[in-house]
Amino acid sequence: MPDALHIRQLPGLCPYTPVYDSMRAFTDVRGPGAPDEIWVLQHEPVYTLGMGGKPEHVLNAGAIPVVRADRGGQVTYHGPGQLVIYTLLDLKRRKLAVRALVSLLEQAVIDTVAELGIAAHRNGGAPGVYVAGRKLAALGLRVRKCCSYHGLAANVDGDLAPFAGINPCGHPGLPVTRLADLGVGMNCDEFAARLLPTLCRLLAAATVDTVPSLRRSRRAPAAQAGAMHG
């Protein structure tokens, strides 16, 4: 059975770039025995463009910064009221292919919202989780050294207006939704408490431990460390 998962809860609203840099640094320094980690957080408002993302999919950024990231895919939005789960996993050790991880992340959201009475589904050719054709959760991954980072973002109770400033995930006019509009009165912490056990079960984690958040410097916890998008 794969080894333990460490869960890091990052408090408050996190600027995107320091967390992004920490994910990359964590992956760079981790060794074959380093535990896998899941980072749980919300970001300050930001648009992120994948490696092959086309700037023309940013229609009107306004005051929201646009950051280029090394995941696959096009453009998406992160902000308050959106639950972000970053999956820093040794895929070789877990015997997971990238497509299998994408499917697993989608299934974790589908199973969790099913417990809340919501019928969610995949959309072939456009990774993510949808409800009646509206996108509820987006996925973005990068794999380096057989290890993944980035992850998923689920709209819980945040303002969806910034999605009008982009073609979400490169699809003009793609409608988005949030749990609040689907009759679920939860905040991000409450939804995370439902989603994380499902995700850990699907990952077949032997044990799950909560570990301290990142240091205030937002650098990767090196002492403990040994592409698809939709």
Q: Active-site residue numbers?
A: 169
**Number of residues that make up the chain:** 230
Q: b or e along 40-78 (b: 16 or more beta carbons within 10 Å of the residue's beta carbon)?
A: bbbbebbbbbbeebeeebbeebeebeeeebebbbbbbbb
The Cβ of residue 115 has, within 10 Å, a number of other Cβ atoms equal to: 10
Nearest CA-CA partner of 57 in 167, 202, 176, 186: 167
Residues paired with 78 in a beta bridge:
46
225 touches 29 (CB < 8 A): yes
